[in-house]
């Protein structure tokens, strides 16, 4: 296991490698970027490097070597006892902090709470108090905080002193997908490391390796739909979204064309049914998710699918050479474009973006879904 296991994140790698090469590793980091692009993997590999008992020099990849005066960087050896127990997930000085730890909290009242947020009680017990103790194996302590944006104001404020004045042997890495939810005071005490979306080709090739049972068509679609997130592409495949999007492509084409007998409001029930089915899958991954939040998660997935059809039509109308998202259903984009034209495709995308915003703001689901389809049906015909 190496720092260089993380691919296509040169900006993040440069920040870490410069600090490692200079021997001035910050004690608090924020790893910020889209979900599923390697943030937690790099945090894990950095932790193993900090805990390794016998670091070994590794050659820099060619895409990074040009930025450094040296061609080798110390990395985890992968074979010492620290590396072995870190790989097994049992290293006593490597702490993963996440909201579900409330079930292991000594306070029974905290254990009974739903883990909707990363609460101050969890942060105090599993991070702040443990940061004040000496490393059990004598080298360092590393805390990786998942979904750090789920910390409320109280939790972030409680953590400030530890971020500002951590013990010399303590390192804290906050994993963040929504940087704007972090308090300025928290951000100012951490070294920010930004992560970018992954190349579509890399996501596609990774799907071929990780989900070899998938057909080529589904794999290609998921890689494009995920917009640079391998984690999102895997979720789309595992949840069977490709099969759902086939039927929604036909519905969208009929809606845009004003097909006789198709009422916009008639799409509300199948949309909500599919969204709830996707929501149940999301709830299986996160048992603390409420039914409403699970349904909203499914709705937002479907909105992304619908947006892809209108985006394909808009790109075609503007003569873009970009590969379509729904390349296996070219007739849908063609039908939309014939019926609506580029201007209405752009208007549809604005409606879908507004609906996504409304759902995130806890809008009434039934009314918001009905309003969306009525507005899409009323787009100006070409």
What phi, psi does 115 have (nearest 5°)? -90, 60
Domain boundary among 194, 224, 257: 194
Instruction: Count other C-beta atoms under 10 Å from residue 280's C-beta.
Output: 14
Residue 186 in 3-state DSSP? helix
Number of Cβ within 10 Å of residue 211's Cβ equals 15
> Rg of the chain's alpha carbons, rounded to an integer?
24
Q: Is residue 233 part of a domain?
A: no
Q: What is the DSSP string of 237-248?
A: HHTTHHHHHHHH
Average pLDDT over residues 81-101: 94
Q: What is the pLDDT of residue 197?
A: 95
12 and 158 assigned to the same domain: yes
Say which DSSP state 324 is in. Answer: P
pLDDT of the residue at 209: 95
State the pLDDT confidence band at 139, using cuts at 50, 70 and 90.
Answer: confident
| pLDDT reported for residue 332 | 93
Complete edge-to-edge strand list for the sheet that includes strand 191-194: 94-97, 141-145, 170-176, 28-32, 191-194
Residue among 233, 170, 211 at smallest CA distance from 34: 233
Residue 125 lies in a domain: yes
Distance in angstroms (rounded) separating the CA atoms of residues 312 and 320: 9
Per-residue confidence band for 379, with pLDDT thresholds at 50, 70 and 90: confident
175 and 268 both lie in a single domain: no
355: containing domain? 239-377
Both tokens of 315, joined, read 């790109």
Residues 354 and 268 in one domain: yes
Q: Is residue 199 part of a domain?
A: no
Residues 138-152 have a mean pLDDT of 93
pLDDT of residue 69: 65
130 and 264, same structural domain? no
Contact partners, residue 286, CB within 8 Å, separation at least 6: none
Per residue in 22-63, pLDDT tens?
677 889 999 999 999 999 999 999 999 999 989 888 887 777
For residue 42, give the nearest of 228, 194, 211 by alpha carbon.
194
Residue 11 DSSP label = H
Q: Is residue 157 part of a domain?
A: yes
Domain termination site, one of 169, 194, 219: 194
Q: What is the pLDDT of residues 255-275, one digit of tens each?
A: 887 765 567 788 899 999 999
Q: Are residues 34 and 167 in the same domain?
A: yes
Q: Are residues 150 and 299 in the same domain?
A: no
Least confident span in 89-103, 190-204, 248-262, 283-297: 248-262
DSSP 8-state class, residue 173? E
β-pair partners for 142: 94, 171
Is the whole-model pTM more than 0.95?
Answer: no
Pairing of strands 170-176, 141-145: parallel
Are 66 and 188 members of one domain? yes
Instruction: Quote the number of domains for the chain.
Output: 2
Q: What is the mean pLDDT of residues 161-179?
A: 92
Task: Give 118's DSSP letter.
Answer: B
Residue 321: CA count within 13 A, CB half-sphere: 0
Residue 170 forms part of a structural domain: yes
Residue 131 domain-assigned (yes or no): yes
Note whether residue 230 is domain-resident.
no
Report the DSSP pairing between strands 72-75 and 56-59: antiparallel
Distance CA 163, CA 183 (A): 13
Strand ranges (DSSP E) for 84-199?
94-97, 141-145, 170-176, 191-194
Find the CATH number of the domain harbouring 271. Answer: 1.20.272
- Model confidence at 287, in pLDDT bands (50, 70, 90)? confident
> What are the Cα distances from residue 40, in Å, to 79, 273, 341?
21, 33, 43
| Structural contact between residues 32 and 187, judged by C-beta atoms closer than 8 angstroms | no
Report the pLDDT averaged over residues 196-210: 95
Most confident listed range (60-74, 102-116, 142-156, 355-369): 142-156
**Is residue 288 in a domain?**
yes
165 and 254 share one domain: no
Q: Mutual orientation of helices 330-360 and 365-377 as an angle, nearest 10°?
A: 140
| Residues found in the chain | 382
* Sign of the four-CA dihedral 284, 286, 287, 291: negative
Same domain, 148 and 252: no
* CATH classification at residue 45: 3.40.50.300
Q: Are residues 188 and 246 in the same domain?
A: no
| Start-to-end CA span in the chain (Å) | 56
186 and 327 together in one domain: no
Residue 359 pLDDT level (bands cut at 50, 70, 90):
confident
Token code pair at residue 221: 């679609």
Domain boundary, last residue among 194, 227, 261: 194
The tokens for 219 are 């794999």
pLDDT at 255: 84
Kindly state the average pLDDT of the residues 220-231: 95
C-alpha closest to that of 56 among 80, 76, 30, 85: 76
Cβ neighbours around 81 below 10 Å, total: 12
What pLDDT, on a 0 to 100 scale, did the predictor assign at position 266? 86
Q: In which band, very low, low, confident or very high, does the pLDDT at 380 lie, cut at 50, 70 and 90?
A: low
Q: 32 with 141, same domain?
A: yes
């Amino acid at each position: 296991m190496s720092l260089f296991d993380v691919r296509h994140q040169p900006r993040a790698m440069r920040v870490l490698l410069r600090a490692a090469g200079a021997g001035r590793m910050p004690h608090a980091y924020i790893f910020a970027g889209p979900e599923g692009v390697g943030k937690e993997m790099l945090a894990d590999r950095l932790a193993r490097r900090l805990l390794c008992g016998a670091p070994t020099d590794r050659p820099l990849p060619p895409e990074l070597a040009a930025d450094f005066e040296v061609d080798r960087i110390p990395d985890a050896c992968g074979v010492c006892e620290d590396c072995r127990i870190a790989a097994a997930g049992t290293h006593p000085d490597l702490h993963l902090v996440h909201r579900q730890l409330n079930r292991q909290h000594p306070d029974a009242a905290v254990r009974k709470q739903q883990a909707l947020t990363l609460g101050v009680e969890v942060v105090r017990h599993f991070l702040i108090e443990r940061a004040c103790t000496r490393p059990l194996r004598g080298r360092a302590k590393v805390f990786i905080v998942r979904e750090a944006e789920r910390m409320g104001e109280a939790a972030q404020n409680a953590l400030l002193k530890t971020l500002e004045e951590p013990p010399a042997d303590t390192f804290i890495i906050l994993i963040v997908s929504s940087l704007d939810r972090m308090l300025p005071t928290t951000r100012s005490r951490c070294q920010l490391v930004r992560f970018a979306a992954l190349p579509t080709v890399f996501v596609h090739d990774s799907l071929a390796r990780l989900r070899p049972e998938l057909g080529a068509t589904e794999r290609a679609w998921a890689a494009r739909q995920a917009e640079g997130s391998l984690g999102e592409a895997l979720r789309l495949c595992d949840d069977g979204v490709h099969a759902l999007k086939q039927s929604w492509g036909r519905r969208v084409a009929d809606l845009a064309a004003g097909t006789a007998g198709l009422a916009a409001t008639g799409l509300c029930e199948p949309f909500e049914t599919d969204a709830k089915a996707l929501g149940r899958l999301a709830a299986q991954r996160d048992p603390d998710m409420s039914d409403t939040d699970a349904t909203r998660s499914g709705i937002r997935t479907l909105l992304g699918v619908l947006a892809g059809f209108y985006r394909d039509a808009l790109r075609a109308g503007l003569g873009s050479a970009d590969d379509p998202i729904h390349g296996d259903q070219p007739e849908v984009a063609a039908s939309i474009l014939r019926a609506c034209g580029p201007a209405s495709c752009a208007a549809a995308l604005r409606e879908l973006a507004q609906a996504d915003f409304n759902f995130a703001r806890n809008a009434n689901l039934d009314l918001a879904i009905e309003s969306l389809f009525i507005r899409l049906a009323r787009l100006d015909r070409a």
